[in-house]
Structure 1
Amino acid sequence: MFTLRGVSNCGKSSKVKDIADWIINTYPQHININNSINLNKGDIKGILQINNLKIGFNSSGDDISCVLNNDDLLNNYPDIDILINSSRTKGATRNHLEKNYNYSTGWLVKYIYVQKFNPSNLNQEQTRDNLILDELKSWLIGLEK
Structure 2
Amino acid sequence: MKKMFTLRGVSNCGKSSKVKDIANWILANYPHAINHGIDFTKGDISGVLEVNKVKIGFVAAGDDLSCVLGNDYILDVHNDIDIIINSCRTKGNPRKHLEVNYNFSTGWLVKNIFVTKYEPSNPSIESIRDLKIMEELKSWLTGLEKL
Residue ranges of structure 1 left out of the alignment (5+ in a row): none
TM-score (norm 1): 0.97
Inter-partner Cα distance in structure 1 for 2:49 and 2:63: 23
Q: 1:38 offset after TM fit, Å?
A: 2.0
Verify: 1:103 aligned to 2:104, yes or no: yes
Give identity over the alignment, percent: 65
Verify: 1:80 aligned to 2:81, yes or no: yes
Matching residue's letter, 1:28: P
Instruction: Give the 3-state SS of the residue equivalent to 1:56 in structure 2.
Output: strand
Inter-partner Cα distance in structure 1 for 2:14 and 2:108: 24
Runs of 4+ in 1 over 6 A off after TM superposition: none
Measured on the aligned residues, the alpha-carbon RMSD in Å equals: 0.5
Inter-partner Cα distance in structure 1 for 2:25 and 2:82: 18
Q: 1:39 offset after TM fit, Å?
A: 1.9
1:52 paired residue number: 53
Comparing 38-47 and 17-26, the one that deviates more = 38-47
1:4 paired residue number: 7
1:113 paired residue number: 114
Verify: 1:37 aligned to 2:48, yes or no: no
1:62 paired residue number: 63
Counterparts in 2 of 1:134-145, with a 5 A limit?
A: 134-145=135-146
Residue ranges of structure 2 left out of the alignment (5+ in a row): none
- What count of residue pairs does the alignment treat as equivalent? 143
